[in-house]
Amino acid sequence: MASITIRNISDDLKKRLRKQAAENGRSMEAEAREILARSTSAPKSAKPMTGLDIFKPLRDLVDKYGPFELELPPRTPIHDPFAAERHHASGMKEEAQPFRAAAKRKRK
């Protein structure tokens, strides 16, 4: 079996290792071996995704099938299902309501 020496550890780190070893019923050396074994055999976590990782499936689709364009529907005024209720509750004429007056203007 091989052995290693670890130099220049802080007194605080040594105290914490001694305490952790005592809590687990091991010597400091056995505790250090266990920590090293766990940390080197743990599965690597997936690296965080970047914007390019999110975009890649779409880019692959375009590369495979070619570019495509989506047909946009024509713009229409927003339908407000509660407009009639607000109209009756406020007592205002529809033209006097600021959010309705802007919608009635013709767009150029």
Is 107 a residue whose pLDDT tops 70?
A: no
The whole-number pLDDT of residue 31 equals 94
| 75-84 mean pLDDT | 80
- Kindly state the tokens that stand for 7: 């130099």
Domain residue ranges of the chain, discontinuous segments joined by +: 11-41, 78-108
Q: Which tens digits make up the pLDDT trace of 5-59?
A: 999 999 999 999 999 999 999 999 999 999 999 888 867 777 787 888 888 888 8
For residue 56, CA distances in Å to 49, 50, 68, 83, 88 come to 11, 10, 16, 44, 53
Residue 18 to residues 6, 24, 33, 82: CA-CA distances in angstroms?
15, 10, 13, 70
Q: Tell me the average pLDDT of the chain.
A: 80
How many Cβ atoms are within 10 Å of 21's Cβ, its own excluded? 18
Looking at per-residue pLDDT, the higher value among 75 and 87 belongs to 75
